[in-house]
Structure 1
Amino acid sequence: MSLLIAGSIATDHLMTFQGKFEDSLVVEQLDKLSVSFLVDDLEIRRGGVAPNICFGLGQLGLGPVLVGAAGEDFTDYRSWLERHGVDCHSVHISDSKHTARFVCTTDTTMAQFASFYPGAMSEARQIELLPIVERVGEPDYVLIGADDPDGMLRHTEECRQRGYRFIADPSQQLAFGEGDLIRQLIEGAYLLFSNEYESHLIESKTGWSSDDILERVGAQVITLGKDGVKIVAKDQEPVVVPALKNVNAVEPTGVGDAFRAGFLAATEWGLSHERAAQVGCTLAAYVVETVGTQEYTFTREQFVARLGASYGDDAAAEVGKHLN
């Protein structure tokens, strides 16, 4: 059995502004917006939702399969991921486009201005899942993250047709997608990931109520930032898990991807939604405390101790026996 993680593959260009964006914005003049910010540093890091999630899964001892499209400049990135337990044999390499670029500036309040160049990501629609499954085996889960919209639709439809259990994680594409696209990406998902704002955006664009959504997915996992995470499912009491304690936030990019990696790892281990959220929150803390999405490290002992300090000895014992 395998874990297929489909989504964007990108390089992150991260900058820090030592001020507040809000101090430079005039609400009455937003239609004439033209501002610039002098930043103190530039960090060029590996990114993209699919590699970020794959890296987190690899750190927790699993061997995920990366599904996505990149350029010929992916060579060094591929080596990095493979050294950290990620199967990159099924990555589509474009012969004409560079790997996607994410450019983001963060201020002292953790507010962000960001832009994204898709590049080779637009060729994700050419990827078929069946040859990958024939190579690595039937998938336990296929996570379909933000990517080329046509590629996301193709992967989702193929999962339905072939009976692969899939996880919907449209995230950044929700801002651009219309209701019909979003409905197609969600219908029949085993899990639906979103943050709190995105959950309202899904309802607004699809015309579905929260109850309508729960009729169509196995469960919805809603991240709440510093307030933790909430998991809701039809005819079940919501599960609310607080964020990890004593987190020294430095840079938020990739935090959601790390949470998803932890949640999916625990789900693969057969743990409850509560435990999965606790593992996700613990892994997310490592990312927010570093600059870059794949720069964190920890030992098994450190991870278990940190999880236990926030969620108790029983949680630490249950999770610890699955960590390599």
Structure 2
Amino acid sequence: MEAVPAAVEAVCLGESMAVLLPDRPGSLAAVESFRATVGGAESNVAGVLAALGVPTAWVSRVGDDGFGRRLLTELAGHGVDTTGVAVDPDRPTGLYVKEGGPHGPVPRYYRAGSAAAALGPEHLADPAVARLLDGARLLHLSGITPALSDSCLALVRALLARPGRPTVSFDLNWRPALWRRRDPAVLRELLDAADLVLLGADEAEAALGTGDPAELRALLPGPATVVVKDAGHLVTAVERDGSSTSEPALAVTVVEPTGAGDAFAAGYLAGTLRGLDQRRRLRLGHLAAAAALTSTGDQGALPDAERRAALLDASPADWAAVRVGPDGWWPR
């Protein structure tokens, strides 16, 4: 693929997959057709960062198959630089299928032996990857990648230890099925080596034993900032000195929750790169998450730049009055 003609500020590294969406809710046994799209935590973040005006690259591996080519085409279509993506002639692109369940869609993953699982430290010797990392201000990782394989874990460790590395953000993205045969205790080591950590209180409780922001801050002394999203839709950013900033989410009529956490991360990271204060960073994360929640795909339509700026500067009362749904943002 051709490089996006802009200096890359952010690099997102990790697996993305083809996604099959059924034509009706319910069991896959009754589904007759599917709509194909793409998804994956790090590429979702890359796409939203690009939509927010941050020149971004996605680094990964895909199979030499139609799904892999679709991933590259769609990411490039979102303005994401894909020059750091290797095409594997032997391994397939990962796949997941969404199946309707009593509490909403359930993803069914088919990723064993995928191309991305073959990522390893040697990938850093690729001149395209080295160029992207050397020029970036931010590297975004997640807890999915080190769970894929021993080589992927070695790659994440190498990235965190890389001399002169950019600022590293790390989203926990807890996937218990991936960690079933691996030691999840390694996640604490990786999170603590990052500069910025994002996690949900519920997943942190499962993976780290606590979802309390103050306790997580004590558990992870290394990062400059730990951002915790709780079940009540309040997000709290806790600094190394213990000071904190909290901001409630917008009122949203949810269409599909998948991708909202990635969108929040992208909004928050875009605000960080643009030098916004902590409250506006959190608000930009909420705006991006709201857009994703009202879309059937992993990435939704953001309000325009003028509307975003107004919402970032809104009073607490005006912020609380905003309503977001599939038919738009209110008040208009």
Are residues 305 and 41 of structure 1, via their aligned partners in 2, closer, same or farther at CA, if it must alter by over 3 Å? farther
Q: How does 1:23-42 map to 2 (within 5 A)?
A: 38=30, 42=34
1:121 aligns with 2:128: no
| 1:115 CA drift (Å) | 2.7
Give the match for residue 330 of structure 2: none
TM-score by length of 1: 0.79
Q: How large is the Cα RMSD of the aligned pairs?
A: 3.0
Q: Distance in 1 between matches of 2:125 and 2:287?
A: 31
Normalised TM-score (structure 2): 0.77
Q: Does 1:156 align with 2:157?
A: yes
Distance 1:285 1:217, change over 3 A: same
Q: How does 1:133-148 map to 2 (within 5 A)?
A: 133-135=130-132, 137-145=134-142, 146-147=144-145, 148=148
- Find the counterpart in structure 2 of residue 70 from structure 1: 62
Please say if 1:286 is aligned against 2:295.
Answer: no
Q: Distance in 1 between matches of 2:124 and 2:198?
A: 23
Instruction: Assess if the C-alpha contact under 8 Å between 1:16 and 1:105 holds in 2.
Output: no
The answer to which structure has the higher helix fraction is 1
Is the 1:98–1:120 contact (alpha carbons within 8 Å) kept by the matching residues of 2? yes
Matched, 1:218 2:220: no
- The reply to whether residue 97 of structure 1 matches residue 91 of structure 2 is yes
SS in 1 for 2:104: coil
Whether the 8 Å contact between 1:174 and 1:198 is mirrored in structure 2 is: no
Segments of 5+ residues of structure 1 without an aligned counterpart are: 20-34, 315-324
| Aligned partner of residue 127 in structure 1, secondary structure | helix
* Aligned equivalents of 1:211, 1:58: Cα separation in 2: 30
Letter aligned with residue 123 of structure 1: A
2:237 is the alignment partner of 1:231: yes
Give the paired residue count: 295
1:13-28 alignment, distance < 5 Å: 13-15=20-22
**Residue matched to 1:80:** 74
Q: For the residues of structure 2 that align with 1:233 and 1:266, how far apart are their CA atoms? A: 16
Rounded to whole Å, the distance in 2 between the matches of 1:60 and 1:130 is 28
Unpaired segments of 5 or more residues in structure 2?
Answer: 1-7, 320-332
C-alpha displacement at 1:252, in angstroms?
A: 0.8
- Deviation for aligned residue 1:230: 1.8
How has the CA–CA distance of structure 1 residues 80 and 123 changed in structure 2, closer, same or farther, with 3 Å as cutoff? Answer: same
Q: Which residue of 1 aligns with 2:276?
A: 271
Partners of 2:154 and 2:40 lie apart in 1 by: 18
**Residue identity in the other structure for 1:159:** L
Q: Give structure 1 regions of 4+ aligned residues with deviation exceeding 6 angstroms.
A: none
Task: Provide the rounded CA distance (Å) in 1 between the counterparts of 2:69 and 2:278.
Answer: 36
Residue 94 of structure 1 and its aligned partner are, at CA, apart by 0.8
**CA offset digits 1:65-93 (Å, max 9, x no partner):** 11111112322332222232211000011
Map of 2:42 onto structure 1 = 50
C-alpha distance in structure 2 between counterparts of 1:213 and 1:129, whole Å: 34
C-alpha distance after superposition, 1:158-203 (max 9, x if no partner): 3323132212224134551414421332232111111112211332
State the shift of 1:41 in Å.
Answer: 7.2
| Deviation readout 1:227-283 (Å, 9 max, x if unpaired) | 1312223332332211113x2210111111111111111111112232111101101
Change (3 A) 1:312 1:140: farther
Specify which structure has the higher proportion of strand.
2
Does the 8 Å contact 2:263/2:299 carry over to 1?
Answer: no
Does the 8 A contact of 2:280 with 2:312 survive in 1? Answer: no
Distance 2:315 2:138 in 1: 28
Counterpart CA distance in 2 for 1:228 and 1:10 is 30
- Contact 1:214/1:234 (<8 A) preserved: no
Structure 1 Cα separation of the partners of residues 38 and 162 of structure 2: 33
